[in-house]
Structure 1
Amino acid sequence: MLWIGLFALVVAVGCAYLARAAHLRARAMESTEAVSAAELRALRTAAVEAGSAGYFRYRCELTGQAAPHKNGALRSELEGLECVWHRHRITRKYEETYRDGKGNRRRRTRTETMSEHSSPTAFFVQDATGRTVVRPGGAEVVGAEKVLDRFDPHQGGGGGRLRIGPVSLDLGRREGTIGFQREEWIVRPGSRFYVHGEAADADGRLAVTAPAEGGVFVMSVKSEAELLRGENTRVAGFGVAAGLAAVGGCVALVLALVG
């Protein structure tokens, strides 16, 4: 009973943390000014004229359509689809032998991520007044279109290496492989796009990216209203879970101490 109580309290702390994180994201989006591409350029121009070129920092959010950067559209790594952003994940499913608490040999199925990558290439968010560069870094895009979700049984062979499209995986001495799950997400040119982050010109070029000193950075094909509904739902859900787990944990600890 003691361990059950302690575990429940750990769960309560975790749920409380997730509820607080969702609350902070929601409040950050609600309190940040939405600007157009032209308004953002005007703010940066005023900063340059005031002698602050290279030091411009402005928390903002923009809405428009995703458009390829100057070098043209990208191609997703697994499906080869035209996009402005892509992400993939390849997961290995395998069986392994282990010994249980009584020393008996047993088999279990597990997974490990073999390859995961998000494109860091900059692209534009374009509205009626112009376009703004967005630098995604390694961040994900909320609601990105999932264009691949397939499991392929492992056929063996390959000499310790497996090639899936342009991705080469080093299997090494891994044994018991059942197969590989392939997943890929993209943002197509022309998709509705929302970004919440920090506009800066540290390298002399204006772009929106993750805040340099930490903070909320959100890229999404969903609208701000949809994102806020989701965050508020998470706040309520995790908050209730945290409260129930805390009460249950305290009850279990009391029973363990008086039992």
Structure 2
Amino acid sequence: MIAPVVVFVIGLGLLGWGFFRQRKRDVMDATPTLTCAEIAAGAQPVTCEVKGAATPGPRGAVRAPFSGHECVWYRAKVTVRYEHHEYRDGKRHTTTRERTVHDDTCPVPFGVQDGTGQILVLHEGASLDGASQSVERYEPAGQNVNLFGLNLRVNFSNVKGHRYQEWIVPPGQPMYVLGAAGVQDRQLTMRRPDGSPFIISAISEEQLSKRLRIEMYIGYIGGGVVIAGGLIWLAIKALHG
């Protein structure tokens, strides 16, 4: 019975993923777009959308750790690929696995300039959609050794190599941000709203909405197909039980 349970869990996971994609899209459709000037004129904090160009925050631009590119935001990730050994039935089995050993985002807030003013995005580790990938590199482990004129790669550990990935948002990148906006210490800020998605995107609202719609259908249709397949499987097993 373990296999049918796994199938149903996968199906429910896909349905849940589709639901959260739909919820995110519905929130975008229902949230008003305001300019920085309109936010500044308001007396109370408000959940809204802001569209503009990415600009450095009060601390200035930052340098991405792997590429060294100037940016306002980055994500740097390192994955190790290694051989895993285990013994079953008196035999040694070797599989290649991967594990993330470093996954860091820029802690410095950045601004969004829309022509009427600038708002500071306090992302605090929130995910960012559509950032440009600036590094995609795999470095095999070990050292190059020249032996009798032959270049060989020598590696005595179970580590096979490291994969380096980096994503950045350069200054001037068009941005779409949905969050709780208000004035803090005489500075317009946007942060994670209570009970609502915090959306930070380097692609337009229209592009993001289209992508969320596709992902929503994938989740709903895929989840329905997986669960239906599981029910059919159980029915066949019951008939031949």
Could you tell me the TM-score, scaled by structure 1's length?
Answer: 0.83
Q: 2:218 aligns with which of 237, 241, 247?
A: 237
- What SS does the aligned partner of 2:95 have? strand
- Distance in 1, matches of 2:181 and 2:122, equals 10
Please, which moves more after superposition, 244-253 or 142-151?
A: 244-253
Contact 2:179–2:197, Cα closer than 8 Å, also in 1 = yes
Q: 2:53 aligns with which of 54, 65, 70?
A: 65
- Distance in 1, matches of 2:58 and 2:78, equals 30
Contact 1:5–1:251, Cα closer than 8 Å, also in 2 = no
Which residue identity lines up with residue 131 of structure 1 in the other structure? Q
* 2:172 equivalent to 1:190: yes
- Match in the other structure for 2:140: 153
Unaligned 5+ residue runs, structure 2? 144-156
Shift of the alpha carbon at 1:31?
A: 0.4
- What SS does the aligned partner of 1:182 have? strand
Unaligned 5+ residue runs, structure 1? 48-56, 157-174
Q: 1:252 aligns with which of 224, 228, 233?
A: 233
Contact 2:57–2:109, Cα closer than 8 Å, also in 1 = yes
Shift of the alpha carbon at 1:201?
A: 4.2
- Match in the other structure for 1:35: 34
- Distance in 2, matches of 1:140 and 1:184, equals 14
- Identity percentage over the alignment? 30
Contact 2:111–2:120, Cα closer than 8 Å, also in 1 = yes
Shift of the alpha carbon at 1:6?
A: 2.2
1:119-149 CA-partner distances (Å, limit 9, x unpaired)? 1211110012111111111012211110100
Contact 1:7–1:249, Cα closer than 8 Å, also in 2 = no
- Distance in 2, matches of 1:25 and 1:222, equals 15
Instruction: Let me know the Cα RMSD of the aligned residues.
Output: 1.7
- Distance in 2, matches of 1:88 and 1:193, equals 20
Shift of the alpha carbon at 1:209?
A: 1.3
- Match in the other structure for 2:130: 143
Q: Alpha carbons of 1:257 and 1:193: their partners in 2 closer, same or farther (altered >3 Å)?
A: same
Contact 1:87–1:186, Cα closer than 8 Å, also in 2 = yes
Contact 2:119–2:187, Cα closer than 8 Å, also in 1 = no
- Match in the other structure for 1:225: 206
- What SS does the aligned partner of 1:206 have? strand
Relative to total residues, which structure has the larger strand share, 1 or 2?
2
